[in-house]
Amino acid sequence: PLWVGGFASTMPSAYPRLLQPITLRGGAVLRNRALMGSMHTGLEEGEGWGHSLEKMGAFFAERARGGVGLMVTGGIAPNAAGRVAPFAATMASSSDARRHRTVTEMVHEVGGAKIAMQLLHAGRYAYQPSAVAPSAKKAPIGWVTPHALSSAQVEATIGDFAAAAALAQEAGYDGVEVMGSEGYLINQFLVTRTNHRSDAWGGSFSNRMRLPVEIVRAVRGAVSADFILIFRLSMLDLVRDGSSWEEVVELAQAVEEAGATIINTGIGWHEARVPTIATSVPRGGFAWVTQKLKGHGLSIPLVATNRINTPEVAEAVLASGQADMVSMARPLLADPDFVNKAAAGTPQLINTCIACNQACLDHT
């Protein structure tokens, strides 16, 4: 059956692939192929002395009511050094987990949708003095020169990701997304542009990809088998000295083997000069990248992303075999009921995101 407004329906749909449930490795079932991609909403730090997350909970509960299958939060740091800015949200203690219970309980009270916490270590993109990176090289869009992590600190960071995932499960989340793209810490370890190390974490690609693979393996070992583990993989860096295609494929295969449940597409570092989400980018313009990876023997779902802003585009991406799922972030900011309206046969009522970035991305 299709799911409309939280209820099963047997009516035919113009979007059968978008609305088709999917069973993941480990047994978790998503009610459709729509993933709400991660966005920093400004709600992750909470309000007041207790840093209440009521507004964050209400935000995601509204989208759960709107019919989406799986939602990913804005990036939450696994430790203090990984914060994007001073006092940005972390998942590093039982008190953090208790606060996030508000979010997960509000979402699960609605029913139907699942929610994952994105674990994001900013690396040299951090706008705070304790920024760290594989090497002490300042980002062109950064404010500070990061400290190069020692080998022991790299190992500790892996442990922090695993601990954060376990705390996210304790908080009631259905999964986590390990942010390995867009030029953040994990991405920085992968490429020679930012990784100038000569130890076991640098040099050859097998060394440079150790961090993401070990993080995925440690996270999988810290959570239950049915806990969803998404890895956001940079399939196009769009910067000099980024990953080769052969390296992208090797990493994808390695993170699947290490225990990932889903691989989500990442397109472009934040310092890249190539437009990736602006209005000038064709709709579904990067789905071909995800399709290219599908031909390399992976058995877990691959998610296409960027400028998929109507149910027609989403259905076309899925129907053509370019991806197993589609990620939409700003379209679900523009209209929380996007999926329900598509399922009800009223796509003309969707408040379509036109990728102008006004009042959302341009305000961050």
Residue 7 has a pLDDT of 42
Mean pLDDT calculated for residue range 26-47: 96
pLDDT tens track for 203-239: 999 999 999 999 999 999 999 999 999 999 999 999 9
pLDDT tens track for 354-364: 999 987 877 65
Of the residues 15, 125, 173, 184, only one is catalytic, namely: 184
Residue 198 has pLDDT above 90, yes or no: yes
Residue 320 has pLDDT above 50, yes or no: yes
Annotated catalytic, 184? yes
SS (H, E, C) the chain: CEEECCEEECCCCCCCCCCCCEECCCCCEECCCEEECCCCCCCCCCECCCCECHHHHHHHHHHHHCCCCEEEEEEEECCHHHCCCCCCCECCCHHHHHHHHHHHHHHHHHCCCEEEEEECCCHHHCCCCCCEECCCCCCCCCCCCCEECCHHHHHHHHHHHHHHHHHHHHCCCCEEEEEECCCCHHHHHHCCCCCCCCCCCCCCHHHHCHHHHHHHHHHHHHCCCCCEEEEEEEEECCCCCCCCHHHHHHHHHHHHHHCCCEEEEEECCCCCCCCCCCCCCCCCCCHHHHHHHHCCCCCCCEEECCCCCCHHHHHHHHHCCCCCEEEECHHHHHCCCHHHHHHCCCHHHCCCCCCCCCCCHHHC
Mean pLDDT calculated for residue range 155-160: 98
* Predicted TM-score of the model (pTM): 0.95
Looking at every residue in the chain, the average pLDDT score rounds to: 95
Residue 144 has a pLDDT of 95
Predicted confidence band at 12 (pLDDT cuts at 50, 70, 90)? low
